[in-house]
Amino acid sequence: MPRLISRFFTLLAFLAFSAGALAAASLPPQKSNESGVTVQVTPRGLTGPQWEFDITFNTHSQDLKDDPLKNAALVVDGAAPLAPSGWKGDDPGGHHRKGVLSFKAPAASPAKLELRLQRPEEPAPRVFRWQLR
C-alpha cells in the first residue's frame, strides 16, 4: 500500500509539472509599440527555480538605454512586485537589443502574471499580462 501511495503522488507531481511546462510553452508573446520603440516579451521556462522572459527592443529613432535588471518587475497574482534576478543580453545602447530576463520562481503556482518594464523617459511602465489558468 505505501508503494501505491508513493506512485500516486509521483504521478500527481509529474502531471502538475507537465501542466506548468505546457502553460508556459503556450503563452503568446506580447508586443508594445510606444514612443517609437517596440518592446516584445515572450515567457519561456516558467518552471524550476528561475522563470525567464525573452525581451526584444527595437527602434530607429533613439538610443536604447533600458536596463531591465533595474527597471523591470514581475507581479504574480497581484502580490508585491518581484525584482529580476538576472539579465543575459545586450548592453544598453544601439537600436536593436535582446536578452533574457530572469526572476526567482514564486512559491505557488500562479493564475496570473504581469511583467512591468519602466522605460527611460516614459511616464508609465509598459505592462505585459498573461493568464495561466
CATH number reported for the structural domain that contains residue 107 in this entry: 2.60.40
The Cα angle at residue 110 between residues 105 and 112, in degrees rounded to 5:
115
Q: pLDDT grade, residue 26 (50/70/90)?
A: confident
Q: Which structural domain range is residue 40 located in?
A: 2-131
Burial class of 80 by CB neighbour count within 10 A (0 to 12, 13 to 18, 19+): exposed
Q: Within 10 A of 85 (CB to CB), how many other CB atoms are there?
A: 15
Which H or E element spans position 76?
Answer: strand 72-76
Residues 68-123: tens digit of each pLDDT: 999 999 999 999 999 999 999 999 999 999 999 999 999 888 999 999 999 998 99
How many domains does the chain contain in total? 1
Mean pLDDT of 59-73: 94
Inform me whether the pLDDT recorded for 64 exceeds 90.
yes
One-letter amino acid for residue 98 of the chain: K
pTM: 0.79
